[in-house]
Amino acid sequence: MKFLARQPILDRRQEVYAYELLFRDGIQDNCDGMNLEFASTSVLDTSFLIGLDKITEGRRMFVNCPREFLLRGYVSLFPRDAVVVEILETVKPDEEIVEACQLLKQDGFLIALDDFVDTPDWAPLVELADFIKVDFRLTGREQQRTLAARYARKGIRMLAEKVETQEEFAAAVKMGYSLFQGYFFCKPEIMQHQSLPAFKLAYLELLQAATAPEIDIGQLATQIKHDASITFRLLRYLNSAAFGLRSEIHSIPHALSLLGEREMRKWIAVVAVGVMADGRPGELMTVPLVRGRFCELLAPLAGLPQHANDLFLLGLLSVMDAILGQPLEAILGELPVRQEIKEALLARTGLYRNLLDIAIAHENADWEKVNSLLELLGVSKELVPVLYVSALNWSSALHRGIHEHAIG
């Protein structure tokens, strides 16, 4: 039972450069007894089982490499153009490790130094490093600035990790960091006294109609048809391979007849949020898609099969403040969503919130919290890894469909 978390590494444009894959064999995260070699070997086994392309979407993959993983040459089984060998801070940089890294460099692998601390012992590995990762939670601002100034000029790409706010991101850019890891892009930049662009407002109104407790299908279809852009986008998205529909959709009434009310609500929500996220970091749309689908799949395990659509919407709305640059309370005040969704997002309470917290803890690789929440809800751990990978693959396919069929 292998648990996977995929964390994005973004460039200065906040586009995904790579993903770091974090695995645990079983959900327990006991640092005293944790076998890092076994965990990293799990990366290898599970990555090939699932398929590298599906996990990373063709981007590079940072893989944690403890000592024995390096010395035994496991990483050489990966395609060299797909993997960045991440040397953990717990690895003693002795002659054996330096020699192993030299061989990897000769074979064409890129090397990253994780949680870097600038000491003489690490000098031989610095000479081989393509990336240096600096933990922004464990280092002070002056140290962050000094490391960037010292090593960026040597051609090493500086990666700021655990960047949690837009302010930290801006500061890191100014200091010379070129790559960034953390969920700062999901944090809102509130635009005070600034109204939404007209086209985003139109999609917010569409989302309002699609989430109303009592939906008027005819009125909804009319609302969609009256806006050519909305009609075109919706039909193109629904006709993409990501939706898996067996016949091509020719009209909004036809779509409604094929999908039914519940599924149509869901797809309209996806389309609306996708368009409103246009111009924002691409990963800002991926995160809510994964959360929403993961929560939807968890619903039956938590005894809430009839609430699956609401839980999907919950995940989708969880970063709406970052997407729109508006306070979440104000956004939800405009949407007729269930009270349980509002309580989960604003008061951070209730059963819905517990399921959302499982999704968030999973993406953060906070295995201890995932474990405690699953136990609280009485949810079996056996299917959770499968559900997460399923959500990941579903969102990746859908995201590709959105980009392939969107218009400017």
Q: What is the mean pLDDT of residues 274-297?
A: 88
pTM for this predicted structure: 0.84
Question: Average per-residue pLDDT in the chain?
Answer: 84
CATH T-level fold of 2-185 = TIM Barrel (3.20.20)
Q: Which residues of 388-400 are buried (b: 16+ CB within 10 A; e: fewer)?
A: bbebbbbbbbbbe
Q: How sure is the predictor about 48, in pLDDT bands with cuts at 50, 70 and 90?
A: low
Among 71-85, 178-192, 250-264, which is the least confidently predicted range? Answer: 250-264
Per-domain residue ranges for the chain? 2-185, 198-405
Position 112 pLDDT exceeds 90:
yes
Q: What is the mean pLDDT of residues 355-378?
A: 94
Position 316 pLDDT exceeds 80:
yes
Higher pLDDT, 227 or 105: 105
Report the DSSP beta bridge partners of residue 161. 135, 181
Q: Are strands 2-11 and 179-181 parallel, antiparallel or unpaired?
A: antiparallel
Look-up of token digits 């040459």? 73
For residue 166, give the H/E element and its range: helix 166-175
pLDDT at residue number 333: 86
Q: Which two tokens stand for residue 343?
A: 């309580």
- Indicate the DSSP class of residue 92: -
Q: Does domain 198-405 have CATH number 1.20.970.10?
A: no
Q: Which of 61-65, 158-162, 381-385 has the highest mean pLDDT?
A: 158-162
CB 331 within 8 Å of CB 324 = yes
Higher pLDDT, 33 or 323: 323
